[in-house]
Amino acid sequence: MRTLRDISPGQTVKVTQIGGASAIKRRIMDMGVVKGVEVFVRKVAPLGDPVEVTVRGYELSLRKEDAQMIEVE
Protein backbone atom coordinates (compact mmCIF):
# COMPACT_ATOMS: atom_id res chain seq x y z
CA MET A 1 0.00 0.00 0.00
CA ARG A 2 1.44 3.34 -1.08
CA THR A 3 0.20 6.64 0.24
CA LEU A 4 0.44 10.13 -1.18
CA ARG A 5 3.15 10.91 1.38
CA ASP A 6 5.41 8.24 -0.21
CA ILE A 7 5.27 9.72 -3.73
CA SER A 8 8.21 11.71 -5.09
CA PRO A 9 7.71 15.19 -6.57
CA GLY A 10 7.01 15.21 -10.30
CA GLN A 11 4.88 12.05 -10.30
CA THR A 12 1.19 11.73 -11.09
CA VAL A 13 -0.79 9.09 -9.23
CA LYS A 14 -4.41 7.96 -8.99
CA VAL A 15 -6.28 7.96 -5.66
CA THR A 16 -7.61 4.50 -4.74
CA GLN A 17 -8.92 5.08 -1.21
CA ILE A 18 -9.14 7.72 1.52
CA GLY A 19 -8.93 6.58 5.14
CA GLY A 20 -9.17 8.32 8.47
CA ALA A 21 -11.88 9.65 10.71
CA SER A 22 -15.03 10.90 9.02
CA ALA A 23 -14.32 14.60 9.70
CA ILE A 24 -10.81 14.40 8.27
CA LYS A 25 -11.99 12.30 5.31
CA ARG A 26 -14.73 14.85 4.57
CA ARG A 27 -12.21 17.74 4.67
CA ILE A 28 -9.92 15.92 2.22
CA MET A 29 -12.84 15.13 -0.09
CA ASP A 30 -14.05 18.75 0.08
CA MET A 31 -10.69 19.77 -1.40
CA GLY A 32 -11.48 17.64 -4.47
CA VAL A 33 -9.33 14.64 -3.54
CA VAL A 34 -11.69 11.73 -4.17
CA LYS A 35 -11.35 8.12 -5.30
CA GLY A 36 -10.31 7.87 -8.95
CA VAL A 37 -8.92 11.41 -9.33
CA GLU A 38 -5.36 11.97 -10.55
CA VAL A 39 -3.02 13.90 -8.28
CA PHE A 40 0.25 15.50 -9.41
CA VAL A 41 2.79 15.91 -6.60
CA ARG A 42 4.50 19.27 -7.15
CA LYS A 43 6.70 19.61 -4.09
CA VAL A 44 7.37 17.99 -0.73
CA ALA A 45 8.90 20.13 2.01
CA PRO A 46 12.24 18.89 3.42
CA LEU A 47 10.60 17.53 6.57
CA GLY A 48 7.60 16.18 4.64
CA ASP A 49 5.12 18.84 5.71
CA PRO A 50 3.39 20.15 3.63
CA VAL A 51 2.93 18.07 0.49
CA GLU A 52 1.99 20.39 -2.38
CA VAL A 53 -0.19 18.82 -5.07
CA THR A 54 -2.27 19.74 -8.10
CA VAL A 55 -5.77 18.25 -8.27
CA ARG A 56 -8.17 19.10 -11.11
CA GLY A 57 -6.17 22.24 -11.90
CA TYR A 58 -6.11 23.48 -8.28
CA GLU A 59 -2.92 23.75 -6.26
CA LEU A 60 -3.31 22.41 -2.73
CA SER A 61 -1.11 21.96 0.32
CA LEU A 62 -1.76 18.88 2.42
CA ARG A 63 -0.41 18.13 5.87
CA LYS A 64 1.71 14.99 5.98
CA GLU A 65 -0.84 13.35 8.30
CA ASP A 66 -3.57 13.93 5.69
CA ALA A 67 -1.33 12.75 2.85
CA GLN A 68 -0.66 9.55 4.80
CA MET A 69 -4.40 8.72 4.72
CA ILE A 70 -4.67 8.93 0.92
CA GLU A 71 -3.86 5.60 -0.75
CA VAL A 72 -2.66 5.79 -4.36
CA GLU A 73 -1.57 3.56 -7.23
Q: What is the pLDDT of residues 12-63, one digit of tens each?
A: 999 999 998 889 899 999 999 999 999 999 999 887 689 999 999 999 999 9
* CATH fold for domain 2-72: SH3 type barrels. (2.30.30)
d(CA 43, CA 51): 6
pTM: 0.89
Domain segments of the chain as ranges = 2-72
13 contacts: CB under 8 Å, gap ≥ 6? 2, 4, 7, 38, 39, 41, 72, 73
